[in-house]
Amino acid sequence: MNRKLHLKVFRYNPDDPKSQPRMESFHITEYDSMTLFIALTQIRDEMDPTLKVDFCCRAGICGSCGMVINGRPGLACHTQTKDLPNEITLHPLPVFKLLGDLSVDTGTWFRGVGTKIESWVHSNDAAFDPADEEMRMENEVAEQIFELDRCIECGCCIAACGTARMREDFLGAASINRIARFYIDPRDQRSEDDYYDVIGNDQGVFGCMGLLGCEDVCPKHIPLQDQLGIMRRMLTLNSVKGILPKAVINALKHKGCCHEKH
């Protein structure tokens, strides 16, 4: 017990012309229930207050502290040191702009794709009547939407994505998951053609190489690959709807798919 941990942390300050990217070593004593949040906070409080690293909720709910932990993207706050070897190597997430050390700019990135995919429920706001009861919804549908709405935009899926590493304009699993969330939402009035315009291309579902890294690293265990598959099938069927008979399309649409439009 009480191992000595050796943390090798990526350091670079882009605002300092003299700064060179390098790995820096910190040694701390492990104790029970220690997480990387506790370890890094201790380093910052006691050894180097200039260390740039993002934390907010420290409870795996906000998604601030995504980083590459021994080669694998994950959340620092809910990674327990007891699950790691003595030597722990920490890098910032790739793809996103580096702000310094372990801190990257996920905010700007997600806002950008949010705008691109028009990440909101497309409905008529003026139709809301405060005196009226709410639109009814099946609880099962609500639960399905929430299942996808649990995404915390930590960026781990993007960092683990082969396509995102190769092409800057790839929307990534988190964005496709969000589209899937709107697609199953009965309040969203967008048609399949509308969705096609947004993700029916190489930046969207057809750019995915199927490496499955996104789902492997998702800290919230969101079924990202299922969503990609469902969206691909929806778009493919939509693009052949004038060619194949309606009955065939409908049969295929429902085959094994729990996420068809309600």
Partner 1 sequence: MQIFYTDVLCIGAGLAGERVAVEAAMAGFETICLSIVPPRRSHSSAAQGGMQAALGNAIMGDGDSPDIHFQDTVKGSDWGADQEVARIFADTAPIVMREVAHWGVPWNRVVAGTHTYYKGGKPFEAEEKKEKHGLIHARAFGGTAKWRTCYTADGTGRSVLNTLDSKCLQYGVTIHDRTQAEILIHDGENCLGCIARCMRTGELRAYFATATLIATGGYGRCYSATTNAVICDGGGQICALDTGLVPMGNMEAVQFHPTGTVPTDILVTEGCRGDGGTLLDVNEHRFMPDYEPEKAELASRDVVSRRMTEHMRKGLGVKSPYGDHLWLDIRHLGVKHITTKLREVYDICTNFLGVNPIDQLIPVRPTQHYSMGGVRTNRDGAAYGLKGLYAAGEAACWDMHGFNRLGGNSLAETVVAGRYIGKQIVKYLKGASVNFTSAALRDAETKLNERIEDIVSGRKGGENALELRAEMRETMMENVFIFRNGKDLQKAVDTLEELHDRANRIALQSNIPGFNPEMSTALRLQGMIKLCQCTAYGALQRTESRGAHTREDFPERNDKDWLNRTLAYWKEGSNMPTLKYEDASPYYELPPGERGYGGGKIIPNELPKKKFEVPKESLENLKEAKSKG
Closest CA to 180 of 219, 151, 216, 209: 151
Which of 2, 20, 25, 33 binds partner 1 (CB under 8 A)? It is 33
Please report, in angstroms and rounded to a whole number, the separation of the first and last CA atoms in the chain.
54
User: How far apart are alpha carbons 51 and 63 in whole angstroms?
Assistant: 19
Residues 46-65 within binding reach of partner 1 (CB under 8 A):
48-52, 54-64
Which of 6, 8, 42, 121 binds partner 1 (CB under 8 A)? It is 121
Which of 125, 242, 243, 256 binds partner 1 (CB under 8 A)? It is 125
Which of 27, 146, 258, 262 binds partner 1 (CB under 8 A)? It is 146
Q: Take residue 49 and report the two structure tokens written for it.
A: 């207050």
The answer to whether 32 and 46 have CB atoms below 8 angstroms apart is no
- Answer yes or no whether residue 87 interacts with partner 1 by CB under 8 A: no
Q: Residue 162, Cβ neighbours under 10 Å: how many?
A: 16
Q: Which CB atom, from 116 or from 165, has the smaller least distance to partner 1?
A: 116
The answer to whether 19 and 85 have CB atoms below 8 angstroms apart is no
Q: Take residue 46 and report the two structure tokens written for it.
A: 């006691």
Q: Which CB atom, from 108 or from 250, has the smaller least distance to partner 1?
A: 108
Which of 30, 105, 192, 260 binds partner 1 (CB under 8 A)? It is 105
Which of 28, 90, 99, 176 binds partner 1 (CB under 8 A)? It is 99
The answer to whether 98 and 12 have CB atoms below 8 angstroms apart is yes
User: How far apart are alpha carbons 174 and 180 in whole angstroms?
Assistant: 10
Q: Which CB atom, from 79 or from 203, has the smaller least distance to partner 1?
A: 79
Which of 1, 16, 20, 247 binds partner 1 (CB under 8 A)? It is 16
User: How far apart are alpha carbons 94 and 156 in whole angstroms?
Assistant: 9
Residue ranges binding partner 1 (CB under 8 A): 13-16, 32-33, 35, 44-45, 48-52, 54-64, 78, 80, 99-100, 105-108, 110-111, 114-115, 118-121, 123, 125, 127-139, 141-143, 145-146, 149-150, 152-153, 185, 187-188
